[in-house]
Amino acid sequence: DDLAGAAAPALPPATVRTAAYLTHPMFNTHHSEHQMLRYIFKLAQKDISLVHCMIPLGSCTMKLNSTAEMMPITWETINRIHPYAPAEQTAGYAELIASLEDMLCEITGFPGMSLQPNSGATGEYAGLRAIRAYQAAQGEANRDVCLIPVSAHGTNP
């Protein structure tokens, strides 16, 4: 006790914690990495995924992004940027995106493309807007009806 008291930092009384913290059993019942991993795996087993069954409506984004496509978001060189970072701090990202767009245009022969959005309701809306722009460019702007089957994705607007 004397050693702990002597080593205690001199904090202003208003900043010293007086309430208990991390009181959930999860924080004090898993005393090894193996126990913690088993606990996390048990929680993961409660989640639904394509490994277990067909994912119901509202999850196109998750279904259309393969694991390999999601790997870069785990790279520290990619995932450490704040979403609202100023443009001057995101020049590398802009260059990466422009380079990928250029390569995809070269491969597909398209004059232009967009990487956003790629799936879900926003992806479908972007696709409809692209079709609409194409029709207008072909002089068919009067085509304003889109037939959608009853079996289509039910959560889209």
pTM (predicted TM-score): 0.43
Instruction: Encode pLDDT of 40-96 as tens digits.
Output: 999 888 887 777 777 665 555 555 666 777 788 888 888 888 889 999 999 999 999
Instruction: Encode pLDDT of 27-49 as tens digits.
Output: 888 889 999 899 999 988 888 77
Q: How far apart are CA 69 and CA 73, in angstroms?
A: 9
- Residue that wins the pLDDT comparison between 15 and 121: 15
| Environment class of 120 (CB within 10 Å of its CB; exposed 0-12, middle 13-18, buried 19+) | buried
The neighbour count for residue 60, using CB atoms within 10 Å, is 19
Q: How far apart are CA 135 and CA 143, in angstroms?
A: 7
Asked whether residue 135 carries a pLDDT value surpassing 90, the answer given is yes
Asked whether residue 152 carries a pLDDT value surpassing 70, the answer given is no
State the pLDDT confidence band at 137, using cuts at 50, 70 and 90.
very high
What pLDDT is attached to residue 81? 86
Question: In the structure encoding, which two tokens stand for residue 125, read together?
Answer: 């809306």
- Domain residue limits, the chain: 83-113
What pLDDT is attached to residue 58? 56
Asked whether residue 104 carries a pLDDT value surpassing 90, the answer given is yes
Amino acid at 53: C
Instruction: Encode pLDDT of 45-56 as tens digits.
Output: 888 777 777 766
Angle at 62 between CA 61 and CA 66, to 5 degrees: 105
Question: In the predicted model, what is the mean pLDDT of residues 104-121?
Answer: 85
Question: In the structure encoding, which two tokens stand for residue 115, read together?
Answer: 């990487």
